[in-house]
Amino acid sequence: MMMPKRTKWRKPHLFHPRRVAKRGKTLLHGDYGLVALEGGFITANQIEATRRVLARSFKKVGKVWIRIFPQLAVTSKPEEVRMGGGKGSPETWVAVVDPGKVMFEVGGGVEPSVAKEALKQAQYKLSIRTKIIEADKGGDNS
């Protein structure tokens, strides 16, 4: 499971992404990408499931770039525990995703139809609405 090697605090405060992404809104590496249309939390398990779907679709031809990382710990208390007694222990790790953030990129000689189908399958693994974008091929500027 993806998690940070070390954190500043063991039990951070939770916050909800409501703003539009300032950074990470354009494709850097690949030809196609998956962009978040709404803010939310993506768990480490969802990221791994999406990565596996993309890797299985491309066999050994394409390359996948993951642009998000789960660095926020989500705590929970055990079931049937009385109120009080402090905050629960960290259970899962999530990545905070703002609307407009590019989460996954694919490229490296992959056919367009294969890449789009793989990203469509990857959309089912995520808990937020997403869309598939394509890199501009930068024609002449005349």
Grouped pLDDT means (10 residues each) for the chain, 142 residues: 89 83 90 94 96 91 94 93 92 94 93 94 96 77 48
Whichever domain contains 111, its CATH number is 3.90.1170.10
The tokens describing 52, both together, are 């596996």
pTM exceeds 0.85 for this model: yes
The reply to whether 2 falls in a domain is: no
The reply to whether 117 falls in a domain is: yes
**Amino acid (one-letter) located at 6:** R
Q: Which residue do the tokens 């590496």 mark?
A: 29
If one counts the domains in the chain, the total is 1
The reply to whether 64 falls in a domain is: yes
Q: Dihedral sign, CA of 43, 45, 48, 54?
A: negative
Q: Which residue do the tokens 């398990």 mark?
A: 45
Tell me how far apart the alpha carbons of residues 107 and 90 are, in angstroms, rounded to a whole number: 35
User: Domain range holding 124?
Assistant: 39-76+88-134
Q: Which of 133, 131, 129, 132 is nearest to 39 (CA)?
A: 129
The tokens describing 96, both together, are 């905070």
The reply to whether 4 falls in a domain is: no
